[in-house]
């Protein structure tokens, strides 16, 4: 009997190995991040002298290599500590997985060999257990712990700054926070700020040339020679440089272009596949955002779609009226609509433009859709 996987397994592919194009792949080199990684190392080297290093904050837009650089530094420090009789631990925590202080501290305790339940204890009990680890000399040696809090904005927004207070007030613990926003410290109260004496490292966006170097390295691991047309990498790099220098997007373009080549049974990845890849990624991104929005926001989009199709100039007042029609009595207040408009604008689905109606008549916000109307319509009606 034939198995459905038989024909698929050995199928021809442009990929030698697709893994290096995955976001989670940690490359051996990080071109154009030497300066930032060296900065981290200069602070962390203290740990090798058995001293808790300064706290560090890393800022940068999405896809600028923050997570990759922190993990790279973590591996390097681990290796350096191995050759010395120093007991250093670096724990990486993604704050989308551990969203409260309790969860983070409990997780740290578990990683350090203490049995703490995921829930049920009071916060104070968990914190005391954590602090206890540093009182008793772990394995007879003094333990230095570095905690990487990736996407810390999410934790601070959801659970406040208690986590930073606890970690910075525990002896021998150092924190490396990673944030997408320069102003994330607005979530931190002065009391906590004073114990977080952090050093800041900024990750600037990559330009097209730098993205091209990054893609060259990864494509060598993923493709055999001759598979890529000459213009593929320059195209991916130029497009991603326009999207705020996002290396993740550049890698996505390259991988998707390769997948398109496979789908088309082409042995070569051509430049026009990259343009097609751009549309496909855009398409998936917008549908992903729309289907995960709360129902009331989807209704706002539906109202916006209706008005757009009628070619009307859309003010917030008009939008609210149209929204009430769509939501048939189950609607939120006019004030909430402003929050929704802001959120949708941040997600890049709509844009607003303030115009002046002339003297004494005040100013009006004009709202317009920034995504393809057909795509929006098909997504909304598929829900």
- The residues binding Mg ion (CB under 5 A) are 67
Write the interaction track for ligand ATP spanning residues 26-65; mark x where CB under 6 A is met and - where it is not: -x--xxxx--------------------------x-xxxx
Q: At what angle do helices 295-309 and 373-381 cross, to 10 degrees?
A: 140
Query: Which of 13, 99, 180, 306 contacts ligand ATP by CB under 6 A?
Result: 180
φ, ψ of residue 97 to 5 degrees: the values are -90, -35
67 touches ligand ATP (CB under 6 A): yes
Identify which range of 25-33, 89-97, 135-143, 278-286 contacts ligand ATP by CB under 6 A: 25-33
155 binds ligand ATP (CB under 6 A): no
The answer to whether 373 touches 309, Cβ cutoff 8 Å, is: yes
Residue nearest to ligand ATP according to CB distances in the complex: 65
Whose CA is closest to 273, among 283, 258, 287?
Answer: 258
Query: Which positions from 115 through 134 interact with ligand ATP, judged by CB under 6 A?
Result: none
**CA separation for the pair 347, 48 (Å, rounded):** 43
Alpha carbon distances (Å) from 232 to 23, 84, 184, 236: 19, 46, 37, 6
Which of ligand ATP, Mg ion, none has residue 23 at its interface (CB below 5 to 8 Å by kind)? ligand ATP
Q: How far is the CB of 61 from ligand ATP (least distance, A)?
A: 7
Q: How far is the CB of 32 from ligand ATP (least distance, A)?
A: 5
List the one residue out of 340, 366, 370 whose CA is nearest residue 353. 366
Considering the complex, state which of residue 250 and residue 319 has its C-beta at the smaller distance from Mg ion. 250
Contact between 255 and ligand ATP per CB under 6 A: no
CB 109 within 8 A of CB 164: no
R_g of the chain computed on alpha carbons: 25
Of 67 and 256, CB closest to Mg ion: 67
Euclidean distance between CA atoms 226 and 61, whole angstroms = 33
Chain positions contacting ligand ATP, by CB under 6 A: 23, 25, 27, 30-33, 60, 62-68, 180, 214, 247-248, 251
């Amino acid at each position: 009997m034939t198995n459905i996987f038989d024909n698929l397994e050995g199928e021809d592919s442009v990929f030698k190995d697709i893994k290096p194009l995955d976001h989670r792949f940690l490359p051996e080199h990080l071109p154009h991040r030497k300066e930032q990684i060296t900065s981290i190392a200069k602070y962390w080297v203290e740990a090798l002298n058995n001293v808790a290093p300064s706290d560090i904050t890393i800022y940068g837009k999405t896809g600028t290599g923050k997570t990759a650089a922190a993990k790279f530094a973590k591996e390097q420090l681990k290796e350096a500590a191995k050759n010395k009789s120093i007991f250093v631990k670096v724990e990486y925590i993604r704050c989308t997985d551990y969203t409260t202080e309790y969860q983070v501290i409990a997780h740290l305790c578990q990683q350090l060999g203490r049995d703490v339940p995921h829930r049920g204890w009071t916060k104070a009990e968990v914190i005391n257990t954590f602090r206890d680890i540093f009182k008793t000399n772990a394995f007879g040696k003094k333990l230095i712990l570095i905690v990487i809090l990736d996407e810390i904005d999410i934790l601070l927004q959801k659970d406040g700054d208690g986590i930073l207070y606890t970690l910075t007030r525990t002896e021998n613990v150092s924190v490396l926070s990673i944030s997408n926003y320069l102003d994330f410290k607005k979530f931190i109260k002065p009391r906590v700020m004073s114990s977080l004496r952090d050093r800041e490292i900024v990750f600037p966006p990559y330009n097209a040339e730098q993205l091209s170097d990054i893609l060259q390295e990864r494509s060598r691991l993923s493709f055999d020679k001759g598979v890529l047309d000459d213009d593929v990498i320059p195209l991916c790099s130029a497009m991603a440089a326009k999207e705020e220098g996002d290396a993740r997007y550049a890698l996505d373009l390259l991988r998707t272009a390769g997948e398109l080549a496979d789908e088309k049974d082409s042995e070569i990845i051509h430049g026009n596949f990259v343009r097609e890849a751009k549309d496909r990624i855009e398409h998936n991104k917008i549908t992903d955002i729309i289907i995960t929005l709360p129902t009331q926001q989807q209704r706002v989009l539906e109202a916006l779609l209706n008005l757009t199709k009628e070619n009307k100039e859309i003010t917030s007042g008009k939008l609210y009226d149209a929204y009430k029609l769509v939501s048939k009595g189950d609607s939120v207040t006019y004030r909430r609509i402003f929050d929704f408009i802001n959120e949708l604008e941040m997600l890049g689905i709509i844009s607003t433009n303030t115009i002046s109606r002339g003297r004494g008549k005040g100013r009006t916000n004009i709202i317009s859709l920034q995504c393809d109307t057909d795509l929006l319509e098909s997504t909304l009606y598929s829900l």
